[in-house]
Amino acid sequence: MRITLKLFANLRDYLPKEADELGALLEVPARTSPEQVLQRFQVPPQQVHLVLINGVYVEPDGRGRPVLKDGDVLAVWPPVAGG
């Protein structure tokens, strides 16, 4: 199945080389979890803060479940600080 992976801020460094400014189109096996996608690209778990699938927030304890479907957009942000 195909999904789009979007990584923001410093996480963009983990996208594959063929990614563009909108993210990367990926081929992943059926029943893949968000966690498995992030592990594939060696995104450090401590750098994963906000995870959305098609704009819907995924709780930390649900990120290991195989919830991705064909055509989904997985978007991930690191923790941010500001002032």
Task: Encode pLDDT of 30-59 as tens digits.
Answer: 999 999 999 999 999 999 999 999 999 999
> For all residues of the chain together, what is the average pLDDT?
94
pTM score of the predicted model: 0.93
The domain that holds 55 is classified in CATH as 3.10.20.30
The total domain count for the chain is: 1
Phi, psi of 51 (to 5 degrees): -125, 125
With beta carbons less than 8 A apart as the criterion, state whether 37 and 67 touch. Answer: no
Q: Is residue 28 part of a domain?
A: yes
In a domain, 83, yes or no: no
Q: For residues 40 and 69, is the Cβ–Cβ distance under 8 A? A: no
Q: In whole angstroms, what is the distance from residue 81 CA to residue 19 CA?
A: 26
Q: Residue 35: helix, strand or coil by DSSP?
A: helix
Q: How much is the average pLDDT of 15-22?
A: 89
